[in-house]
Amino acid sequence: MVGIGRGGDVPQSAVVVGAGIVGLSTAWFLQERGVEVSVVDRSGVAAGASWGNAGWIAPGLAIPLNEPSVLRYGLKSMFSPSAPLHIPLRPDPKLIAFLTRFAAHCRWPAWARAVRANLPLNDESVEAYDVLTGNGVQAVTVDAPITAAFENTHRAQGLLRELQRMAEQGQPVVHQTVTGDELRALVPLASSTLTAGVRVDGQRYVDPGSFVRALGQAVVERGATVHTFEVDDVRAGQRGVTVHGPRDQVLSADVAVLATGAWLTGLARRFGVRTPVRAGRGYSFTVPVDRPVPGPIYLPDVRVACTPYHGGLRVAGTMEFRDPDSPAVPARLAAVIESVRPLLDGVRWSERRDVWVGPRPVTPDGRPLVGAAGAPGVFVAGGHGMWGLAQGPVTGRLLAERITTGKQPDALRDLDPLR
């Protein structure tokens, strides 16, 4: 092994901790640069948020969560367990500290900085997927607009203002308002309650579990070994890093990448990463439908995303700040169903399957943590919130460049884990 600092020699080997879309993308792009990779995950490939999400590659809708309106909404939601954004009322000092920092960033200047910081990831997210699928990852991405549907044109103004603010910060989003027959063509399941929409063009979607499993298979076929155990400790020294698990399991390499999603803080804080990551848990399930669904549907007023999935509809929603390992809360799932039921017809709600709850890694300032940590050879990749699937491949590409060249890409400057 060789010693790797924040700008040392080129590493020959790496251990990636985390086998979701971010970790596996980093592994794949490190392999592209000639690095020998091992991957370790406590549950295996695509076991976390990479499996059950809506599957959107939607840079046009990767809007940071820390809008001022979200703070006002969150305060109201604390008293409603059925609200799309739910903060449980319980004594949790770490959650209180996180929410205090989040509230401090719910200002337009902080939101604008988050948009600008995420801009390079959004600009290259689709291209990074094309690199993967064009070079051995046996999975497909589907081009389709995402249609946001509303009860009336007035309710659509909120999203239109968000898209305008995104454009003002350098990320124009191609979109068009739709009504009547055009809305029905895009959303055949729309009930009579929905009369207006915004079609967001240039987006894609995938079967997220299948894609991440295919990416994992490609990484293995290139020579990586995937280990399944819980990482207890990561140690860094001048001769490289060691990753430790139970029963004296140890992996050694020149560098380690911590990409453990909502569990990132437990390991990363040992290496000077002070920005916390909390689990913003989402729920999803799949239901049969009576009419084909041509593309993804977004229901902003109830914060629910719907995606064509295996002949049915995957329904994903809610943001619940709870421990990532806590069991599912049936009331949260019921709240998603009841919020969407009046808006969509031809959905067989009682036949739902693939019920899932998973933790999305949220930072208080709306910016992911990507780059070198505060110890030689240790790197961090996570905190993408609801947009990890979209931004995972480009994150892996940029971080692989950082690791193998020792130089900080401009795109990662505002994502420094040590900020």
Instruction: Give the residue ranges of the chain where pLDDT is below 50.
Output: 1-7
What pLDDT, on the 0 to 100 scale, is given for residue 7?
44
Distance CA 387, CA 58 (A): 8
What pLDDT, on the 0 to 100 scale, is given for residue 2?
41
What pLDDT, on the 0 to 100 scale, is given for residue 231?
97
Return the structure tokens found at 321.
Answer: 């700040």
Distance CA 415, CA 412 (A): 5
Residues with Cβ within 8 Å of residue 419, at least 6 apart in sequence: 275, 367
CB 413 within 8 A of CB 232: no
Residue 287 burial (C-beta neighbours within 10 Å; 0-12, 13-18, 19+): buried
| pLDDT, tens digit (0-9, with 9 covering 90-100), for 71-94 | 766 656 655 666 666 676 677 899
Distance CA 218, CA 212 (A): 10
Distance CA 224, CA 212 (A): 15
Distance CA 33, CA 120 (A): 21
Q: Which domains does the chain have, with CATH numbers?
A: 13-415 (3.50.50.60)
What pLDDT, on the 0 to 100 scale, is given for residue 92?
84
| pLDDT, tens digit (0-9, with 9 covering 90-100), for 109-138 | 999 999 999 999 999 999 999 999 999 999
- Which letter does DSSP use for residue 10 in this model? P
Q: Return the ∠ at Cα 325 (arms to 39 and 266), rounded to 5°.
A: 55
Q: How many helices (H) and strands (E) does the chain have?
A: 11, 21
